[in-house]
Amino acid sequence: MRSKYLFNKLLDPRTENWWMMSGPGPLITLLASYLYFCTSMGPRYMRDRKPYCLKNTIVLYNVSQILISIYLVYEGLVAGWWNDYNFSCQPVDYSDSPKANRMAATVWWYFFAKIVELLDTVFFVLRKKNRQISFLHLYHHTMMPICAWIGVKFLPGGHGTLLGVINSFIHIIMYTYYLISGLGPQYQKLLWWKSHVTTLQLIQFCIIFYHNFTVMFCDCNYPKFINFLLSLNSGAFLYMFGNFYYKNYIVDKRQPAVSSSTVYKEGKEC
């Protein structure tokens, strides 16, 4: 009964008929298939095969990710965060106003982007770069679609959407790095800012943690449980990405990173 109440009474009726929003089943199935393929079926399939040459595919993929990230930043700002939204406390607007619907649609497109980003790991598997599929990488790519799905289903707007705007901005920079890295060894001299990609992600999680944690102690018509979950998740990301940064860029600067969830391994692919 409680589960039925959750999905029938608390959901946003504007988004219930959108793709993947009928219930948690489709997303759970997709993520379970993703994890099974990337940790078991995919590596076994590739064991006796040569790595796939996906250079052109990945270049197109990175360009598409840059474009959708630019779109999400623009829409998130125009629909609320540029002028209308309050950084201290922003409730969800469940009305049918143009801006409220625009933000709801932006949250769904952010969710869609997180689903597409699962291809990051699929490409690792098909290129036999399994050492780059770390726990951090899998956790990040599994949790982000879940958080985005909750946003679309129940809270397509309001305080938590700042996460999507900041994350999409970081992804513009991150996928630009991936794009240059994938063009070939002759572009390595342009990648001096590799460690700064991780630094930006650490700053991102600090902002998101502060933005959600402080709201739990003030009077704001936004679910404090969601603020708690976003703070907890950003804190976990902050710890794991910080640990990655410490091991790869501080402990031994002379050794290249062998496992990364934030940057692709440079070099000639095929």
**The pLDDT of residue 244:** 84
Alpha-carbon distance of 105 to 133, in angstroms, equals 31
pLDDT tens string 116-127: 999 999 999 999
Whether residue 14 is contained in a domain is answered as no
Whether residue 5 is contained in a domain is answered as no
**The pLDDT of residue 249:** 79
pLDDT tens string 164-195: 999 999 999 999 999 998 888 887 777 888 88
Instruction: Tell me the CB-side half-sphere exposure of residue 60, using CA atoms within 13 A.
Output: 4
Whether residue 206 is contained in a domain is answered as yes
Q: Hey, what amino acid is at 63?
A: V
**The pLDDT of residue 52:** 94
**The pLDDT of residue 266:** 39
**The pLDDT of residue 83:** 87
**The pLDDT of residue 204:** 93
Classified as helix, coil or strand, 129 is coil
User: Within a 10 A sphere around the Cβ of 166, how many other Cβ atoms?
Assistant: 20
Whether residue 11 is contained in a domain is answered as no
Whether residue 3 is contained in a domain is answered as no
Whether residue 4 is contained in a domain is answered as no
- Buried b or exposed e, range 196-217, using 16+ CB within 10 angstroms: ebbebbeebbeebbebbbebee
Residues of the chain with pLDDT under 70: 1-9, 252-270
- Domain extent, residue 230, equals 23-250
Whether residue 263 is contained in a domain is answered as no
**The pLDDT of residue 193:** 82
**The pLDDT of residue 33:** 98
**The pLDDT of residue 234:** 92
Catalytic positions: 140
Alpha-carbon distance of 30 to 108, in angstroms, equals 17
Alpha-carbon distance of 91 to 87, in angstroms, equals 11
Domain count, the chain: 1
Whether residue 1 is contained in a domain is answered as no
Instruction: Tell me the CB-side half-sphere exposure of residue 200, using CA atoms within 13 A.
Output: 18
